Chains A and B, each alone.
Chain A
Amino acid sequence: MPILEIDHLQKAYGDTHILHDINISIDEGDFLVLVGPSGCGKSTLLNCIAGLEPITGGAIRIANRDVTGVSPKDRDIAMVFQSYALYPTMSVAKNITFGMKVRGVDKATQERKLAEVSRQLQIEPLLNRKPGQLSGGQRQRVAMGRALVRDPALFLFDEPLSNLDAKLRVSMRTEIKKLHQDLNASIVYVTHDQIEAMTLATKIVVMKGGVIQQIGTPAEIYNKPANMFVADFMGSPAMNLIPARVRSEAGQTRIEIERANAAPLVITDPVARNLPAEIVLGVRPEDIHEATGNAHLPGTAQGAGGDVMIEIVEPAGADTFAVTHLGGKPVTARLRAESAVQARKPFPLAFDLSKVSYFSPTDGERLN
Chain B
Amino acid sequence: MTSNTLLRWGLYGILILFAAFYLMPLFVMLTTSLKSLEEIRTGSLLALPRELTFAPWAEAWSTACAGTQCEGLRPFFWNSVLMAVPAVLLSTIIGALNGYVFAQWRFRGANLFFAAILFGCFIPFQVVLLPMAQMLGLMGLAGTIPGLIFVHVIYGLGFTTLFFRNYYVTIPQELVRAAKVDGAGFFRIFWSIFLPISLPIITVSVIWQFTQIWNDFLFGVSFSGPGSQPVTVALNNIVNSTTGVKAYNVDMAAAIIAALPTLLVYVVAGKYFIRGLTAGSVKG
List A contacts of B197 (CB < 8 A): 88-89
Asked if B183 and A103 make an inter-chain contact with CB atoms under 8 angstroms apart, the answer reads yes
A72–B199 CA distance with the chains assembled, in angstroms: 29
Asked if A87 and B174 make an inter-chain contact with CB atoms under 8 angstroms apart, the answer reads no
Asked if B181 and A98 make an inter-chain contact with CB atoms under 8 angstroms apart, the answer reads no
Least CB distance from A52 to B in Å reads: 5
Q: Is B226 interfacial (CB-CB < 8 Å)?
A: no
Known contacts A89-B196, A98-B192, A132-B284: A73-B174 contact under CB 8 Å = no
Q: Is A146 interfacial (CB-CB < 8 Å)?
A: yes
Asked if A102 and B181 make an inter-chain contact with CB atoms under 8 angstroms apart, the answer reads no
Asked if B182 and A77 make an inter-chain contact with CB atoms under 8 angstroms apart, the answer reads no
Asked if B184 and A102 make an inter-chain contact with CB atoms under 8 angstroms apart, the answer reads yes
Interface centre among B177, B179, B180, B192 (most CB of A within 10 A): B177
Interface size on A, residues (CB 8 A): 25
Least CB distance from B189 to A in Å reads: 10
List B contacts of A86 (CB < 8 A): 178
A99–B177 CA distance with the chains assembled, in angstroms: 12
Q: Is A85 interfacial (CB-CB < 8 Å)?
A: yes
B182 contacts which of A82, A83, A146 (Cβ < 8 Å)? A146
List A contacts of B178 (CB < 8 A): 79, 81, 85-87, 146
List A contacts of B188 (CB < 8 A): 102
A86–B171 CA distance with the chains assembled, in angstroms: 12
Asked if B175 and A82 make an inter-chain contact with CB atoms under 8 angstroms apart, the answer reads no
A52 contacts which of B175, B181, B192 (Cβ < 8 Å)? B181
A85 contacts which of B172, B192, B196, B284 (Cβ < 8 Å)? B172
Known contacts A87-B193, A88-B197, A89-B196: A73-B183 contact under CB 8 Å = yes
Which of A30-87 touch B at CB < 8 Å? 47, 50, 52, 71-73, 77-79, 81-83, 85-87
A160–B182 CA distance with the chains assembled, in angstroms: 17
Main secondary structure of the interface of B (DSSP, over half): helix
Least CB distance from A187 to B in Å reads: 15
A89–B182 CA distance with the chains assembled, in angstroms: 16
Asked if A81 and B196 make an inter-chain contact with CB atoms under 8 angstroms apart, the answer reads no
User: Chain A: which residue is nearest B180 at the CB level?
Assistant: A72
List B contacts of A79 (CB < 8 A): 177-178, 181
List B contacts of A52 (CB < 8 A): 177, 180-181
User: Chain B: which residue is nearest A150 at the CB level?
Assistant: B182
A52–B106 CA distance with the chains assembled, in angstroms: 13
A146–B184 CA distance with the chains assembled, in angstroms: 14
List B contacts of A102 (CB < 8 A): 182-184, 188
Asked if B172 and A99 make an inter-chain contact with CB atoms under 8 angstroms apart, the answer reads no
List A contacts of B196 (CB < 8 A): 89-90
List A contacts of B183 (CB < 8 A): 73, 99, 102-103
User: Chain A: which residue is nearest B198 at the CB level?
Assistant: A89
Asked if B192 and A50 make an inter-chain contact with CB atoms under 8 angstroms apart, the answer reads no
Least CB distance from A261 to B in Å reads: 55
List B contacts of A132 (CB < 8 A): 284
A-B contact pairs, 13 of them (CB 8 A): A47-B177, A50-B177, A71-B180, A73-B182, A87-B175, A87-B192, A89-B193, A89-B196, A98-B184, A98-B192, A102-B184, A132-B284, A146-B178
The interface of chain B, by Cβ under 8 A from chain A, is: 172, 174-175, 177-184, 188, 192-193, 196-197, 284
In the A-B complex, the 10 residue pairs with the smallest Cβ-Cβ separation, listed nearest first, are: A99-B182, A85-B178, A89-B196, A73-B183, A85-B174, A102-B183, A81-B174, A79-B181, A72-B180, A72-B181
